[in-house]
Structure 1
């Protein structure tokens, strides 16, 4: 019997164990990569925002998206759209940083739309984030294909207190 070359977790689900860069792109096996974000971590909303902001500031929006994904999967159902929208903002920035301006702009706008119905849950600066996402989407939509942005430079402030 031949061994299955696919990486599997302890429950047999397919997992890619290849190292990844700061934007989540797979690197060749044996290449040093960025520490992967653990999956399925249950955090308070405040912990989610602090960890995601840390990752965004470090230029790692793909990893921030995984933190938001944990929040939408583990949080109350009525907050799913909020956390999913936040994840879409992070993935939009990821695509923009990878040079996928079309996909980045679409996800930024989709994320902004998804969170726009919220006031300011957990101190999230919804107005500031939607403005940031729309401005960045407009800017990158007009950029030549394969023009990447610097994820750390473009990182949004998630809460009003992060703006000080």
Structure 2
């Protein structure tokens, strides 16, 4: 494959076939990578949460974000903000694990804001209040790390598996 051209599907949409690592970063063509999540999978909320938690626990928040994105796009309108917020939390963790503290903190807070209308509830057993607290705490810690590091390239990425949130308290 010509590495200078973007991969496109039959409709001309970009479909990057490059292998990716566990944090979703593209690897060189031909390198072994982590299997990607299939797109457009319709899962029950239970299946979505189980698969996303497995991926988060394995240190693969980028892949968990793709699972949440499927739920966001295929689920009922009334739940889209919930799933979008969870996807944003996973992307925020992805960025923080890649060392992008600014993007990580921003997306963690955006996800917490998206979940805020569900505060005080437990849709599908999801610990919304706990997730909002987790996101705000992690965002603060990565910003503090950045503030104390004079050289942004020296900021330590967070360990995605160690920092993975528990989606449903007591189910991990």
TM-score (norm 1): 0.93
CA shift digits 1:61-89 (9 cap, x unpaired): 00000000000000011111100000000
Structure 1 CA distance for aligned equivalents of residues 95 and 12 of structure 2: 30
1:150 aligns with 2:152: no
Question: What is the count of residue pairs matched by the alignment?
Answer: 160
Q: In angstroms, what is the RMSD of aligned CA positions?
A: 1.3
Tell me how far apart the structure 2 counterparts of residues 74 and 26 of structure 1 sit (CA, whole Å).
26
Alignment partner, residue 87 of structure 1 = 87
Question: How big is the shift at 1:10?
Answer: 4.4
Q: Which runs of 5+ in 2 are unaligned?
A: 147-151
* Distance (whole Å) between structure 1 residues aligned to residue 64 and residue 77 of structure 2: 20
Residue pair 1:105, 1:140 contacting (<8 A) in 2 also: yes
| Partner of residue 42, structure 1 | 42
After superposition, residues 69-108 of structure 1 pair within 5 angstroms as 69-108=69-108
Q: Distance in 2 between matches of 1:111 and 1:162?
A: 21
Superposed counterparts of 1:1-164, under 5 Å: 5-118=5-118, 119-144=121-146, 145=152, 146-163=155-172
Post-superposition Cα deviations, 1:77-127, rounded to whole Å, max 9, x if no partner, equal: 111110000000000000000000111011111101111211110000001
Residue 12 of structure 1 deviates from its aligned partner by: 3.8
Q: Distance in 2 between matches of 1:60 and 1:10?
A: 29
Displacement of 1:161 in angstroms is: 2.9
Structure 1 segments unaligned to the other structure (5+ residues): none
Runs of 4+ that moved beyond 4 A: none
